[in-house]
A and B are shown apart, each in its own frame.
Chain A
Amino acid sequence: MYQPLPRPFDSPRASPFPSPPPALVGLAPVPGHTAPGALARVAQRLNLSLADIDERMTVDEVLDELDLQAYLADVDNAPAGPPSARGGRR
């Protein structure tokens, strides 16, 4: 499992995560493992429907995709530095 970069100084999300649509299975977060809607992210990146994922992919392949996305998110978005490095604010 990919370990994302630590982001202690990133601005926290201001609003709560929305609840997934009740008819869709597997979008709830796995505590300590996957974020809410992770399965939908995989579907979005691979341009597949959720039914296609169930039909074609194994759990391992889904987890690989999640690792890849987390890695790319870290590559594209550097973690924020401490407040002192952003202009001396404390």
Chain B
Amino acid sequence: MARPYIEDQICLSMRVGPSPEDVERRWWKIEQPRPSIALALRARIGSALGPATVDAVMRSLYAVIDPDAEDDVAADTATVGEAAALQVFRRARSGKSLVALAEGETMDIAAGRLLAIASFVARAAGQRLDAALLLGEHERVADNLEYRWAKPSLLHRLLLDSGLRFGGSAKAPRYPSGRPGDDSPGAALFAAWNGGSVTTFVREVDVLVSGPDELLLLTVWALLHLWRPF
């Protein structure tokens, strides 16, 4: 039996111009890496963050993402015991989106939640965060005002192994098919992912993202997806 794919999709509303109305809705999709890669990434990222930090951050993040679930955990612990309460956490395995929202909410709210998560991670990790290992190093391009990644980082690797795909910025996502002649907006990123070179992949990600905020949101999102069901 083939492994089921645990996928997640998000639509980020990113500001792309000087006016507050210059907002673009951008679709992205990821999947959980296969077990050997997922455990290897967890080991490396866990070492960079510190063992105590990872567990605390991930559980707290889950509470940020789904406050109702946190209440359910407390209620179930009091009434039917911890085993039942743990099942609440494990609901995350069902393929439910990490940024799944209550009925009537829009995907735009998910971006706000992820921003809250990103700042929470920064606060919780504090000085224990090995930024160089996680985020990589950048350098200035000679005779130019642009910067590039001198060395791909662990989080870049995470995005590659999570199969990050771009679905464009239209009302509905249009993900690459991988077929010859594919003209979808994320076709080049998909080709880079298929090639497996993290350097090429990172270059394509940098072309697509609207800025550092979007890259940060994508990496936090992939990190959460990697770590569930905690």
Contacts and interface: CB of A to CB of B under 8 A. Distances in A.
B73 interface: no
A58 B34 CA distance: 7
Q: Give the interface size class of chain B.
A: 20 to 34
Interface in A31-71: 31-34, 38-39, 50, 53-60, 62-63
Interface size range of chain A in the complex: 20 to 34
A83 interface: no
Nearest to B93: A60
A59 B51 contact: no
Quick one: which of A50, A53, A54 has the most chain B CB within 10 A?
A: A54
- B interface, by DSSP: helix, strand, loop or mixed? helix
A33 B46 contact: yes
B225 to A, nearest CB: 10
Question: Which residue among A31, A32, A54 has the maximum number of chain B CB atoms within 10 Å of its CB?
Answer: A31
B4 to A, nearest CB: 6
Given A55-B3, A58-B6, A28 B40 contact: yes
Interface of B: 1-4, 6, 32-40, 42-44, 46-47, 50-52, 54-55, 86, 90, 93, 229-230
